[in-house]
């Protein structure tokens, strides 16, 4: 039910971010992740967890030094797909940073919303392969945990079970826009007063032979192998596709009232959200950037802001020919003459494309940039593309004050999601 003020009018709660947790190919935890971003360190390399000798694509963005036993019981971990494991790990980091004492909270007022592009795709591929190899005994050997391991809502549900969160629980599977949409949907839950706290973000872990071959068949992946760290080249004229990755980003969102009641540290305020659809093609964006432009404009409208108010844009920036050109066009449509004056960077240049987890991991990069007054670079931008002629902060971090930032995510099916983040001011107005 929407909260009412003393005059019986509905009111929207302000929503703040009080905790963040991240597992990324270039760093586990906020400190390592941020240091890598500012120093321009790539997390890309030739796949090491499975055989790629006969695949046309070999470069991926794998997590390093991730052991689920560091975050949960071994038996519990074995019953989960990897995307749920990384989701729980990032959620634990976020809760730890937030200082939220779950033992003192009404857990029916704490919910969870997680975005994932595919769910347990890696485990599905492994089980089908094992099923086939087992021959006539295959049906007898299927694990009873197989289905509840792989279905997409399991990351959100496993997080809720692990931490005892009994409030609203939702899963967003809007491809590469999923975790930005999960942040936005959690924002709406809190705005209308349906919960006090939402743990929201994204989790993806589907790197495997079958998955890589499947994406390679679409001809959307980079084939760069000579120097894998240069395979993701957003906005560069020589870009040749994205690099698939794995990871998770989770954030603790609270109503301002709840955060203030426990004297929590606040890292940013979420002030705008919008989603649109291109209604154009299952994988190709429109050249004129209409869908993304509408999402950006609607997010600005939702926040009551204009183009002049945005200090930084974290781009979707996948390193594909079509996306980077389309996003550039969309930004110009929304921001007009100011488009060329706003620093823009693509986190994917260093972490690859984390699919459904990308938006949340990039939102964390945006908040860290805001709090440090520093914009991380778009690395590997060495050959300017005439069609991508904005300020993408090439190759070197830049000191830059950020009060308001826009974070973009666009996915297969024409899914577009944008959020606006603001430097927190205790007495500020929406």
Q: What is the mean pLDDT of each run of 10 residues along the chain (430 residues)?
A: 48 95 98 98 97 97 96 94 98 98 97 97 90 74 89 97 98 98 98 98 97 96 97 98 98 98 98 97 95 98 98 98 98 98 98 98 98 98 97 98 98 97 77
Burial state string for 30-46 with b = 16 or more CB within 10 A and e = fewer than 16:
bebbbebbbebbbbbbe
Domain co-membership, 409 together with 316: yes
Identify whether residues 242 and 329 lie together within a single domain.
no
pLDDT confidence of residue 429? 54
- Write out the residue range of the structural domain in which residue 19 sits: 15-261
* Residue 426: per-residue pLDDT: 72
Question: Is 5 inside any structural domain?
Answer: no
Same domain, 311 and 332: yes
Q: Which of 200, 232, 261 is the last residue of a domain?
A: 261
| pTM of the predicted model as reported, rounded to 2 decimal places | 0.95
Regarding whether 237 and 292 lie in a shared domain, the answer is no
Note whether 178 and 66 are same-domain residues.
yes
Taking the C-alpha atoms of residue 57 and residue 62, their distance in angstroms, rounded to an integer, is 14
Number of domains in the chain: 2
Tell me if 8 is assigned to some domain. no
Asked if the structure places residue 194 within a domain, the reply is yes
Determine the pLDDT at residue 167: 98
At residue 194, the pLDDT reads 98
For residues 236 and 96, state if they share a domain. yes
* Same-domain check for residues 59 and 170: yes
Task: Please list the active-site residues.
Answer: 176, 316, 353
Judge if 182 and 296 occupy the same domain. Answer: no
Predicted pLDDT of residue 360: 98
Question: DSSP string of 190-258?
Answer: HHTTS-SEEEEEEEE---SHHHHHHHHHTT-B----SSGGGS--TTBTT---B-BB-EEEEEEEEEHHH
Please name the residue ranges forming H helices in 230-351. Answer: 256-261, 290-303, 321-335, 348-351
Question: What number of residues does the chain have?
Answer: 430
Q: What is the pLDDT of residue 339?
A: 98
In a domain, 185, yes or no: yes
> Of the residues 217, 232, 261, which one is the last residue of a structural domain?
261
Query: What's the rounded Cα separation, in Å, for the pair 348 and 301?
Result: 27
Among 213, 238, 261, the domain boundary falls at 261
**Does one domain contain both 307 and 396?**
yes
Question: What CATH number has the domain bearing residue 326?
Answer: 3.40.47.10
Quick one: 249 and 299 in the same domain? Answer: no
Rounded distance, CA 307 to CA 342, Å? 10
Closest CA to 179 of 248, 110, 277, 80: 248
Domain assignment present for residue 29? The answer is: yes
In a domain, 398, yes or no: yes
In a domain, 427, yes or no: no
């Amino acid at each position: 039910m929407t909260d009412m003020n003393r005059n019986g009018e509905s009111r929207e709660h302000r929503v703040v971010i009080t905790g963040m947790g991240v597992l990324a190919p270039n760093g586990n935890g906020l400190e390592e992740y941020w240091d890598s971003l500012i120093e321009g360190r790539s997390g890309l390399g030739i796949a090491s967890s499975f055989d790629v000798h006969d695949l046309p694509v070999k470069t991926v963005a794998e997590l390093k030094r991730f052991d689920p036993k560091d975050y949960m019981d071994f038996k519990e971990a074995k019953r989960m797909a990897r995307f749920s494991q990384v989701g729980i790990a990032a959620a634990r980091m976020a809760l730890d940073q937030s200082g939220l004492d779950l033992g003192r909270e009404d857990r029916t007022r704490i919910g969870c919303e997680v975005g994932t592009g595919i769910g347990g795709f890696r485990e599905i591929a492994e089980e089908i392969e094992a099923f086939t190899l087992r021959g006539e005994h295959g049906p007898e050997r299927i694990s009873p945990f197989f289905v509840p391991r792989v279905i997409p809502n399991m990351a959100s549900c496993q997080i809720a079970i692990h931490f005892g969160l009994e409030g609203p629980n939702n899963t967003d599977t809007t491809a590469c826009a999923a975790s930005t949409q999960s942040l936005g949907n959690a924002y709406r839950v809190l705005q209308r007063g349906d919960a006090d706290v939402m743990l929201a973000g994204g989790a993806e872990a589907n790197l495997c032979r079958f998955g890589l071959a499947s994406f390679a068949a679409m001809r959307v992946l980079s084939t760069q192998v000579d120097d894998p760290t240069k395979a993701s080249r957003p906005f560069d004229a020589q870009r040749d596709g994205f690099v698939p990755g794995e990871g998770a980003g989770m954030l603790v969102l609270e109503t301002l009232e709840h955060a203030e009641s426990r004297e929590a540290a606040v890292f940013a305020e979420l002030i705008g959200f919008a989603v649109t659809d291109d209604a154009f093609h299952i994988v190709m964006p429109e050249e004129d950037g209409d869908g993304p432009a509408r999402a950006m404009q609607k997010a600005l409208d939702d926040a009551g802001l204009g183009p002049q108010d945005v200090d930084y844009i974290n781009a979707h920036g996948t390193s594909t020919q079509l996306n980077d050109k389309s996003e550039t066009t969309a930004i110009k449509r929304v921001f007009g003459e100011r488009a060329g004056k706003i620093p823009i960077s693509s986190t994917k240049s260093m972490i690859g494309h984390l699919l459904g987890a990308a938006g949340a991991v990039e939102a964390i990069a945006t908040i860290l940039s805001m709090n440090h007054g520093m914009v991380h670079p778009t690395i590997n931008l060495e050959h300017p593309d005439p069609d991508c002629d904005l300020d993408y902060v090439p190759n070197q971090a830049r000191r830059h004050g950020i009060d308001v930032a826009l974070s973009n995510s666009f996915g297969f099916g024409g899914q577009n999601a944008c959020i606006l983040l603001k430097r927190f001011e205790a007495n500020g107005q929406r």
